[in-house]
Structure 1
Amino acid sequence: MLWACILLPQLALDAVLRRCPDPDAPLALVTGPAQLRTLHAVNAAAAQAGLRAGMRLTAAYALLPDLALAEYEPQAEARWHRFLAAWAYRHSSLVSAQWPGCLVLEVRASFRLLGPWPRFEARLREELHALGFSHRIALAPTPRAARVFAGLRDGLAMMQAPGMNEVLDRVPIRRAVLPDDAGERLHRMGIRDLRTLRGLPRDSLRRRFGLEVLEHLDRLYGEADDPLVHYAPPDYFDARVELGYEVESHTALLFPLRRLIGDLCTYLSIRDGGVQRFLLRLEHEESHTDVEVGLLSAEREPAMLFELTRNRLERVSIPAPVVAVRLLARELPPFVPAVRDLFDLRAQQTLPWPQLRERLRARLGDDAVHQVTPTGDPRPERAWRRLRGGDHVDIAPAPARPPRPAWLLPQPIPLRDPRPRILSGPERLESGWWDGEDARRDYYVLETSQGQRAWAFAPPGEREHWMLHGWFA
């Protein structure tokens, strides 16, 4: 096996920066009690001004009065850690997020599908950059070695066990990710690298530092199996963005909405599925406003889903300032891509019918676009019915009948023509006795004095008092 480790050095900070309209502005995460606020993490702009993690908030304000602040939330950091594990799951079936601040995934089995490691690594970096997370990536035959290498040097790749062992032997003891504070204690004792540590008697190490250090060394060098806790993706998507300020306009909600839709589509691509119905919740201080988005078929195109959600959002009035936005999708049916020709012409100027249909529904309303299906009722005004989006019925072939017009009038009206000529008929219709709308008619195809072909009926056995019901093209 080959394991790649994706180290996320500032996961909590990136989770906040990715929802900021200006991520290059100075920003810091703060933690601690109200009387003793300290900086948990700072972005590059704040670091250039002299701020650093662990600094008191009062000192930070003295150096940078316009510093933007966000609360450090361990729960949010854990949630984004799980999200990135779900993202990594689409590249490998073996993903572990058991260690904080990093992911490990087995990649050798994916080489045949995604290409050799340089191409695979470039793809991981490109997608992480698009998602907005800084990272360091390393490769090794064991997951713990990959984790250590990612902390040593970004891009370090060792594919063979002998070469891995040589590099591990030179790793400084304080950077070997030993359990608890064992690395610092060993350094104070004069142990500088892993080669020296492995040369010590194992019994002495076990008595002084516990069995965990020996197990870590064995698993690090591949001398013992490493029972990782593998990630399994959930069956729903639930993401929430706190705005940090009150929003009263639709325009200010578009940036976090685009991020949420992008995260949803990333999750759908992991599952190789789509979404047909989801909920956008605008949270206020003491209430919330729900915006339901329903589609006629499962989709996962980010641009289309964002456009549909934006159209629905713009039709909703905001009763109170919005402080957070949440997107929840529980119905995730399989995604069936539309059949496309191999050589599509002018694809950049065309819009597939499913996307056009959903855009029309979002702009004009759910009932503006619909399908029709035959009902089997012989009465022309009841021969078809509307089919709501998402409904699927088996359409039976229509029975053989004489020709019927494509243009049917909403209601029959008297035919004002002195000399119509009968072209065909009659077609006798007797139906509707069971629902109180009994119909007994003889239908004819007529030609009017102006040359039009009309579809009209008269009482059974009569050829006058014509009622016009439709026109033939």
Structure 2
Amino acid sequence: MPRARATGRQLQLFIRQAASRHPRIPAGKNLSPAHLNTPAPVDYGVQAPARLWLCIGFPGLILEALGIAEESPAVAISGEGSAALVVAVNTSAERAGIAPGVSLNAALALLPVLGVHQREISAEAAMLQNLARWALRFTPVVSIDPGGALLLEIRGSLRLFGGLGQLRKQLNQELSKRRCQAVMASAPVPRAALWLVRAGIRFDCNNTPELPGVLANLSLECLRWPAKVRHKLMQMGVSTLGECFRLPREGFARRIGPEYLLDIDQGLGRQPELLRHHEEPDIFNECFELPGETLVAGEVEDAACRLFDSLSVFLRERQASTERLLVHFEHCRQPATPLEIALREPSAHTCHLLELLRLKLDRQALPAPVTAITLRAAVMPLASFSSGSLFGRTSSETDSRFTGLIERLRARLGDKHVHGLGQAADYRPEYAWRTRDIPGPDYTNEVPGEMASRARPLWLLEHPRRLNTHQGRPIDDHNRVLVFSSDAERIESGWWDGNDVRRDYYTAAGHRGNRWWIFRDCRDSCWYLHGVYA
């Protein structure tokens, strides 16, 4: 019996098996002395996992962006006048026989009570941006398709969410809460998942070799190629993707175009596709329009509360904080009223920020009715989170409560009226202090040691008050002689700026035990009260 010849595939398998039994001979290499003397690297069989893309399509995006309900018949149109065409219909209008693509006149002839809304592409784009922001909760890789879909790379999220089925279930639940109609499909390449969604097919494909069979029956409409290209293919007898796959590549590129051949290759995973990932901006900027003009504090605060809720989600998704907010109250017949909220340290507690806004509004009245509110906030790097203490309050919690108190006082009284006190290098009491922040990063307590050792009253009078005397000694308000409890402290300074003083300071006690800081002016020998000790 003749011996069967081994095929090339069998020979390659034989060589690999032999190489595995002799680790010093690497498979697939030309033999050389270096190979014989050098051990081959150990292959653990670890490969990078293939990507898995989940596409979420929103077939009702046009109507959902306009806020059109399903109860009454309504359509969205593009164009004006006799050229207006219906681009989307709700369920009630569809039951009446109206379909996308018909003229508005034909639709009104079928249903005269039809609700007509102009399509707003900007609203659709804003809605997609919000949905992309929401999708970042499930994966850091999100891409927006302008046709009304999101592409999510979910391979690294499957274990976290308990598998593809559980992930899709959670996505559907949250989209239902948002009242968004969605179609989902997954594939190893993003374009294939997008084609499935455009065809309205809910399917999960995990292997690239299966893509030609999965996509074969899809219509050319899901490619979104120009009508002229699709018509040319239809003239060639091509109406599905499978028939398109079977065309000769060179002829297809020459007759249809190389860019469309590249689309085919990317959809089948033969060529990589570079997608622009969605990145959230570092500045929160959102506007809320009121139903009408209002000066009612409750309505204005409710609108501001919605903006701060959005800011809270914005910061929480980034684990970030903010330290400066700018609120604009828009008016109809005059410029907007700006209101700034500056924090002493970055914060992500929007309830506290909203309280500061209320305090500022209590102090600053709005000059005209409000039509819209705009909130703008710069995002800081990751906010620092500290764990609580099991036994009592930690120093960080105490500092946070103190910081919140200062911010509320400034919001109620104004920044200029809430400040700290610091020492200045001057012997004259009225010039020995200065205002500073609480606490100020630039504050230093560098004063001469002799000045720092002197006891000074906390309450210093703005202008020294002259005291009456009895037989040359100062008396209090009850005509009782003050008792000195310290030696004289001579302060003689200020000749260089024209405000020179020559005084002898004493600490004196009244009959009720109160302590005064008094001095005798060496120029007129009069006694003055300058401060009161606590």
TM-score, normalization by structure 1: 0.73
* Partner residue in 2 for 1:395: 444
Compared CA separation, residues 339 and 127, structure 1 to 2 (3 A): farther
Distance (Å, rounded) in 2 between the aligned partners of 1:188 and 1:237: 52
Deviations 1:127-181 (A, max 9, x none): 767777655554432221332344467985555545x637734652256435334
1:404 aligns to 2:436 (yes or no): no
* Partner residue in 1 for 2:248: 201
Q: Mean alpha-carbon deviation: is it higher for 448-457 or for 415-424? A: 415-424
1:140 aligns to 2:190 (yes or no): no
* Partner residue in 2 for 1:7: 57
Which residues of 2 match residues 72-83 of structure 1 at below 5 A?
72-82=119-129
Compared CA separation, residues 209 and 232, structure 1 to 2 (3 A): same
Residue 231 of structure 1: how far off its partner (Å): 4.2
Residue 391 of structure 1: how far off its partner (Å): 6.9
Residue 75 of structure 1: how far off its partner (Å): 3.3
Conserved 8 A contact 2:486-2:506: yes
Conserved 8 A contact 2:295-2:369: no
* Partner residue in 2 for 1:294: 341
Q: 1:446 aligns with which of 505, 508, 523?
A: 508
The one-letter amino acid paired with 1:455 is W
1:280 aligns to 2:328 (yes or no): yes
Deviations 1:395-450 (A, max 9, x none): 33565323333444444434616343333344443444454443443443333222
Matched residue of 1:393: which SS?
A: coil
Distance (Å, rounded) in 1 between the aligned partners of 2:217 and 2:389: 53
Conserved 8 A contact 1:137-1:150: yes
Matched residue of 1:222: which SS?
A: coil
Distance (Å, rounded) in 2 between the aligned partners of 1:378 and 1:113: 67
Distance (Å, rounded) in 2 between the aligned partners of 1:367 and 1:25: 56
Distance (Å, rounded) in 2 between the aligned partners of 1:46 and 1:311: 49
Q: Mean alpha-carbon deviation: is it higher for 216-225 or for 434-443? A: 434-443
The one-letter amino acid paired with 2:325 is R
The one-letter amino acid paired with 2:294 is E
Q: Which has the larger radius of gyration?
A: 2
Q: Mean alpha-carbon deviation: is it higher for 221-230 or for 177-186? A: 177-186
Compared CA separation, residues 121 and 362, structure 1 to 2 (3 A): farther
Distance (Å, rounded) in 1 between the aligned partners of 2:355 and 2:96: 39
Conserved 8 A contact 1:50-1:63: no
Aligned residues: 458
* Partner residue in 1 for 2:491: 429
Distance (Å, rounded) in 1 between the aligned partners of 2:173 and 2:407: 30
Q: Mean alpha-carbon deviation: is it higher for 131-140 or for 226-235? A: 131-140
Residue 276 of structure 1: how far off its partner (Å): 0.4
Conserved 8 A contact 2:325-2:375: no
The one-letter amino acid paired with 2:513 is G
* Partner residue in 1 for 2:40: none
Conserved 8 A contact 2:331-2:369: no
* Partner residue in 2 for 1:226: 273
* Partner residue in 1 for 2:108: 59
Distance (Å, rounded) in 2 between the aligned partners of 1:148 and 1:39: 24
Q: CA RMSD in A?
A: 4.8
Compared CA separation, residues 444 and 151, structure 1 to 2 (3 A): farther
Distance (Å, rounded) in 2 between the aligned partners of 1:429 and 1:119: 81
Distance (Å, rounded) in 2 between the aligned partners of 1:316 and 1:259: 21
The one-letter amino acid paired with 1:102 is A
Deviations 1:67-90 (A, max 9, x none): 5x7643323433444455456567
Compared CA separation, residues 256 and 444, structure 1 to 2 (3 A): same
The one-letter amino acid paired with 1:280 is H
Distance (Å, rounded) in 2 between the aligned partners of 1:273 and 1:123: 28
Conserved 8 A contact 2:175-2:181: yes
The one-letter amino acid paired with 1:172 is L
Q: 1:172 aligns with which of 209, 218, 222?
A: 218
Residue 280 of structure 1: how far off its partner (Å): 1.6
Compared CA separation, residues 471 and 307, structure 1 to 2 (3 A): closer
Distance (Å, rounded) in 2 between the aligned partners of 1:343 and 1:130: 38
Distance (Å, rounded) in 2 between the aligned partners of 1:458 and 1:101: 85
Matched residue of 1:288: which SS?
A: coil
* Partner residue in 2 for 1:471: 533
Residue 266 of structure 1: how far off its partner (Å): 4.4
* Partner residue in 1 for 2:15: none
Conserved 8 A contact 1:90-1:270: yes
Conserved 8 A contact 2:464-2:529: yes
Matched residue of 1:424: which SS?
A: coil
Q: Mean alpha-carbon deviation: is it higher for 128-137 or for 417-426? A: 128-137
The one-letter amino acid paired with 1:393 is D
Residue 282 of structure 1: how far off its partner (Å): 0.9
Compared CA separation, residues 240 and 395, structure 1 to 2 (3 A): same
Distance (Å, rounded) in 2 between the aligned partners of 1:10 and 1:280: 33
Q: 2:143 aligns with which of 72, 75, 96?
A: 96
Residue 225 of structure 1: how far off its partner (Å): 0.9
The one-letter amino acid paired with 2:104 is R
Which residues of 2 match residues 31-430 of structure 1 at below 5 A?
31-34=78-81, 40-41=87-88, 56=104, 59=108, 64=113, 71-82=118-129, 84-85=131-132, 94-97=141-144, 99-108=146-155, 135-151=182-198, 157-162=204-209, 165=211, 168-169=214-215, 172-174=218-220, 176-181=222-227, 194-234=241-281, 236-241=283-288, 246-250=292-296, 251-253=298-300, 256-269=303-316, 272-284=320-332, 287-296=334-343, 297-309=345-357, 312=360, 315-317=364-366, 319=368, 322=371, 324-329=372-377, 331-334=378-381, 336-337=383-384, 339=386, 341-343=388-390, 352-355=401-404, 357-367=406-416, 369-387=418-436, 392-396=441-445, 399=449, 400-413=452-465, 414=467, 416=476, 418-430=480-492
Give the fraction of aligned pairs with identical amino acids, expressed as a percent.
Answer: 29
Compared CA separation, residues 24 and 175, structure 1 to 2 (3 A): closer
Structure 2: runs of 5+ lacking an equivalent = 1-50, 468-474
